[in-house]
Amino acid sequence: SAVISQKPSRDICQRGTSLTIQCQVDSQVTMMFWYRQQPGQSLTLIATANQGSEATYESGFVIDKFPISRPNLTFSTLTVSNMSPEDSSIYLCSVVWRDRVLEDTQYFGPGTRLTVL
């Protein structure tokens, strides 16, 4: 499978500020996603990061709050803007990788643990 890294691994931020999270993959991938995991909860899909075009956001998430860039097939960023304590979560990127013919699987990065004070 692809190797996925994220930076930073964790951060503590003040409310009202913004944080940009990077996701780097060691191979070219077509599909890349961003998820949020609130404390003690399951994962919620924020958006699909589309290479060369605007991201596709899920219901409840907007570009002004979570702008996403995908300049190429190995890299994406997610910005959490104008943060509030409610944004304290783990943010994870994932990619779809073809394990074998007709068998695709999502693999996840290690996550970025964000605390907003």
Partner 1 sequence: GDSVTQMEGPVTLSEEAFLTINCTYTATGYPSLFWYVQYPGEGLQLLLKATKADDKGSNKGFEATYRKETTSFHLEKGSVQVSDSAVYFCALTPTGTASKLTFGTGTRLQVTL
Stretch in the footprint of partner 1 (CB under 8 A) among 21-29, 59-67, 72-80, 96-104: 96-104
Residues 90/37, Cβ–Cβ less than 8 Å: yes
**Window of 16-24, 64-72, 73-81, 106-114 that interacts with partner 1 by CB under 8 A:** 106-114
Segment (H or E) for 47: strand 43-49
The three state secondary structure string of 12-34 is EECCCCCEEEEEEECCCCCCEEE
Q: Looking at beta carbons only, is 37 or 79 nearer to partner 1?
A: 37
Residue 16 or 110 with smaller CB distance to partner 1: 110
Work out which of 19, 34, 77, 111 binds partner 1, going by CB under 8 A. Answer: 111
The answer to whether residues 95 and 32 touch, using CB atoms and an 8 Å cutoff, is yes
Q: Is 104 near partner 1 (CB under 8 A)? A: yes
Burial label for 36, CB within 10 Å (0-12, 13-18, 19+), is buried
Nearer CB in complex with partner 1: 13/90 = 90
Judged by the rule CB under 8 A, the positions of this chain that interact with partner 1 are 1, 6, 31, 33, 41-43, 45, 48, 90, 92, 94, 96, 103-111, 113
